[in-house]
């Protein structure tokens, strides 16, 4: 990419070379792992670029538009934690699959962020309410769930968004801002049985609901239900096995179920049917049992709102399209 001196070109992968001649600079970025087309990104403008290496050894490149104004401090406070979060996620999902990690925050009016491979595209609006580590966790989780292991078809979007959202729940647990179980209880209780939320099937949402919040929130709820059904030991082995075994490949929800059944030794047909493929709210009893809760409350005010809730929801508002 050839740009006027003073501008930078930011893209996926690692910067192989840059050379300047007669007022122009040529940037040569290279991503050497398989990459879906929608995960390619290119930005040209005036950026402040920061580089480093995570404690676990992953090279980090971040870039901030020089005119972010009020959002600049919060953007840096969040995105500069990329290395720490990549290492933390590696503990759950296995080794980071790419040769570099990072993100960039251009000054553009877009309201959504996107998990562009190795170099996440962050909307400056993600940081308008202050630092937002939750969005960084979500987009970095996609590097395993969506980028390294790609969808075979869009109807299986749960494999991307359910797990990226669930990573935010794990982060909340890590930060002592509410356990995944508490967020699950609150999510379930927040949506009465007649809420249209339950009409979206996370396992097959249809093109019109491809990025509906239900795909994220009910999708993560389904993952907590899986955790309740198979127990923590099998659950965390499943979380690591999928991105490891399918690295740089594709998968379907059916493939994921096969893997989860192999590892847990349980028939999960009923659980997947209830949580991913039924256009109604699972009953309190079956929800309580599957979620591992003593009893799931029917009423939102009976379940305490986890501290992380508002930030996770604000993050999701900026993630689902439209």
Instruction: Count CB neighbours of 7 within 10 A.
Output: 15
Shortest gap between Cβ of 314 and Zn ion (angstroms)?
14
Count the residues of the shown chain that bind Zn ion, applying the rule CB under 5 A: 2
Q: Distances from the Cα of 83 to the Cαs of 17, 63, 100, in angstroms?
A: 23, 14, 10
Shortest gap between Cβ of 151 and Zn ion (angstroms)?
12
Distance separating alpha carbons of residues 25 and 9, to the nearest angstrom: 9
Pick the piece of the chain touching Zn ion (CB under 5 A) from 101-109, 155-163, 271-279, 297-305.
Answer: 155-163
Distance separating alpha carbons of residues 76 and 126, to the nearest angstrom: 12
Distance separating alpha carbons of residues 2 and 19, to the nearest angstrom: 9
Pick the piece of the chain touching Zn ion (CB under 5 A) from 24-32, 156-164, 193-201, 278-286.
Answer: 156-164
* By CB under 5 A, residue 159 contacts Zn ion: no
Shortest gap between Cβ of 290 and Zn ion (angstroms)?
24
The DSSP H or E segment spanning 17 is strand 14-21
Of the candidates 103, 99, 106, the residue with the CA atom closest to the CA atom of residue 30: 99
| CB nearer to Zn ion: pick between 89 and 164 | 164
Shortest gap between Cβ of 239 and Zn ion (angstroms)?
17
| CB nearer to Zn ion: pick between 74 and 136 | 136
* By CB under 5 A, residue 220 contacts Zn ion: no
| CB nearer to Zn ion: pick between 88 and 166 | 166
* By CB under 5 A, residue 164 contacts Zn ion: yes
At 152, list the tokens: 């075979």
Q: Which residues form the interface with Zn ion (CB under 5 A)?
A: 161, 164
């Amino acid at each position: 990419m050839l740009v006027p001196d003073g501008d930078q070109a930011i893209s996926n992968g690692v910067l192989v070379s840059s050379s300047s001649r007669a007022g122009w600079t040529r940037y040569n970025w290279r991503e050497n792992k398989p990459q879906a087309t929608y995960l390619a990104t290119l930005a040209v403008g005036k950026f402040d670029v920061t580089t480093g290496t995570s404690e676990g050894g992953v090279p980090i490149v971040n870039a901030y538009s020089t005119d972010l104004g009020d959002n600049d401090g919060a953007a840096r406070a969040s995105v500069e934690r990329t290395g720490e979060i990549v290492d933390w996620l590696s503990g759950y999902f296995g080794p980071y699959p790419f040769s570099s990690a990072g993100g960039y925050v251009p000054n553009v009016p877009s309201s959504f962020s996107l998990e562009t491979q190795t170099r996440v595209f962050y909307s400056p609006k993600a940081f308008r309410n202050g630092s937002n580590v939750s969005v960084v966790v979500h987009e970095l989780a996609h590097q395993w769930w969506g980028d390294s292991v790609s969808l075979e078809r869009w109807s299986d979007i749960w494999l991307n968004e359910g797990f990226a959202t669930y990573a935010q729940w794990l982060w909340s647990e890590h930060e002592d801002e509410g356990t995944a179980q508490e967020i699950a209880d609150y999510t379930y209780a927040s949506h009465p049985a007649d809420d249209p939320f339950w009409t979206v099937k996370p396992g097959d949402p249809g093109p019109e609901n491809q990025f509906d919040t239900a795909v994220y929130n009910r999708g993560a709820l389904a993952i907590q239900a899986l955790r309740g059904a198979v127990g923590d030991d099998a659950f965390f082995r499943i979380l690591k096995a999928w991105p490891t075994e399918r690295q740089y490949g594709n998968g379907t929800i059916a493939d994921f179920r096969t893997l989860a059944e192999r590892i847990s030794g349980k028939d999960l047909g009923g659980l997947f049917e209830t949580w991913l493929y039924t256009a109604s709210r699972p009953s309190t009893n079956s929800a309580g049992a599957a979620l591992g809760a003593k009893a799931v409350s029917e009423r939102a005010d009976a379940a305490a709102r986890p501290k992380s809730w508002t930030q996770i929801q604000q993050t999701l508002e900026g993630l689902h399209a439209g």
